[in-house]
Amino acid sequence: MDKIKEIFFSCIDFVVEKKRYFGAGVVCVLMVVLLALGTDNSAADSNPLSGAYQSYSEEDTDSEITSLLKSYYTACADNDLDTLVTVAYPVSDAEKSYITFLSDYIDSYDVISVYSKRGVDSDSYLVSAEVEIHFAGLETAAPGLDFFYVVKNEETGALVINNVYSAFNQQNNEYDMDPTISSLIAEFEQQDDLLALQADVQAKYNERQLADANFNTFTAETLPQAIQKWASDYKAALEEAQKKAEEEAAAAAEAEKKAAEDAAAAEAAEKAAAEKEANAYQVRVTEKVNVRASASTDAESLGKVDAGTELKAYSEEGEWTLVVFNDSEGYIKTEYLERVDAATEETTEETTEETTEESTEASTDTALYAAGEKVLLYTTVNIRESMSETASKVALAYAGEYVEVIMQYEEGWTKVSYNGKEGYIKTEFLGPQ
């Protein structure tokens, strides 16, 4: 915001105190206009500053430069910003706001005389315009002297005002200026013919100020105070807009952060749910029992389940087992449940041992697997926490899947890695890759 304050305080100083290119009383004249094109053309002379030393040429009332300035002043008085930006460029937002503000006080401009000198090349001009400003409600017009840097539009060939070198921008530095052109303008300001014009406009202003008390009050008090208020209001509007933009940016960043957190949470929940389903197993109810909303006998009963009913179970939590009941989850005391898949596996293992004793013995003797080797499963089987058929299940691996061998033991078990989990599986259920 320091830059904003600097611009606006300098705007106030420029309009109210600085009187460059104006009579002392022409504090209200708006200096702008433009279409910055071709400012880097080479000079016609070896010394680009030579244009500042040339004598003034007075433009005809119907010359292209005079017509350009008349269009400019008419657009300013009418607050016609669309037309303005076709004859002058660039016009900043602050300058547009100031033009709009002034248009409420100005009825019209009369272009009295236009004088020009060559700029840094033959397609550019240093222009002084003597004008009469007609304020709303005042009989006396204010004399003023405006400066313009006029150049030729390379695309259309038409003359336009390069507003980069307007007094408004020279005071507030909103746009970067070419140092050669700036030096030319600085030298031009010191020339006797320009100083004589300024003195003449100053004298006219002083005479009208003394002759018309209403004019004097308006230009010395009313208008400067209005300009101060415009600058203060515009500065406040900019600060509010910046504050709102910062708040919106912060809100957007927070929303993005929350979206990322929600996505991460959803991914974690999905992963947990998938892992939960992968570790699910079947249980059978041994006697009619309540299904509770939480792992407590004091919890709400979700209903009763009859003995012999088979349910999907997820995990044991102390004395309770989390099960699926009526498409929702609930808890049953573990003592009233038996694992269906465990019983099936034990039966399968016993049957295999009785019917394929010779094959098993051969497998035990010969099926030695190196650590890191991936081995095919013969059948669907539990992977357990320890080398025991009653140990807790780590995961359920299916026939046709592969496990990675960590270590084999003489007890007939092999420690394996499966889907990121480690556990033990009977060696007889492993087969060669």
Give residues with Cβ within 8 angstroms of 196, minimum separation 6. none
Assign residue 404 the CATH number of its domain.
2.30.30.40
Domain ranges, residue 6: 2-239
Report pLDDT digits (tens) over 142-194: 999 999 999 999 889 999 999 999 888 888 888 999 999 999 999 999 999 99
- For residue 90, is the peptide bond before it cis, meaning its omega torsion is within 30 degrees of 0? yes
**What is the count of structural domains for the chain?**
3
Does residue 34 surpass a pLDDT of 50?
no
Report pLDDT digits (tens) over 113-129: 999 999 999 899 999 99
Last residue of a domain, one of 239, 269, 295: 239
Per the rule left: phi > 0, alpha: psi between -120 and 50, beta: everything else, 35 is: left
Q: Are both 74 and 37 inside the same structural domain?
A: yes
For residue 190, how many other CB atoms are within 10 A of its CB? 9
Are 146 and 53 spatial neighbours (Cβ–Cβ below 8 Å)? no
- Is 329 among the domain residues? yes
User: Length of the chain in residues, anyone?
Assistant: 433
Q: Are both 141 and 185 inside the same structural domain?
A: yes
Q: Are both 137 and 192 inside the same structural domain?
A: yes
- Is 415 among the domain residues? yes
What is the band of 341 on the pLDDT scale with cuts at 50, 70, 90?
low
Alpha-carbon distances of 308 from 315, 320, 341, rounded to whole Å: 19, 18, 14
3-state DSSP helix/strand/coil % of the chain, to nearest 5: 45, 25, 30
Q: Are both 125 and 233 inside the same structural domain?
A: yes
- Is 248 among the domain residues? no
Q: Are both 382 and 418 inside the same structural domain?
A: yes
Q: Are both 21 and 151 inside the same structural domain?
A: yes
Q: Are both 58 and 199 inside the same structural domain?
A: yes
Q: Are both 163 and 58 inside the same structural domain?
A: yes
Higher pLDDT, 150 or 24: 150
Report pLDDT digits (tens) over 357-410: 443 443 444 457 888 889 888 788 889 999 988 888 888 888 888 899 999 988
Last residue of a domain, one of 180, 209, 239: 239
* Residue listed under structure tokens 């709009």: 100
Does residue 31 surpass a pLDDT of 90?
no
Q: Are both 158 and 23 inside the same structural domain?
A: yes
Q: Residue 342: what pLDDT? A: 47
What is the band of 432 on the pLDDT scale with cuts at 50, 70, 90?
low
Does residue 62 surpass a pLDDT of 80?
yes
**What's this model's pTM, rounded to 2 decimal places?**
0.57
Report pLDDT digits (tens) over 296-340: 999 999 999 998 899 999 999 989 999 999 989 999 999 999 988
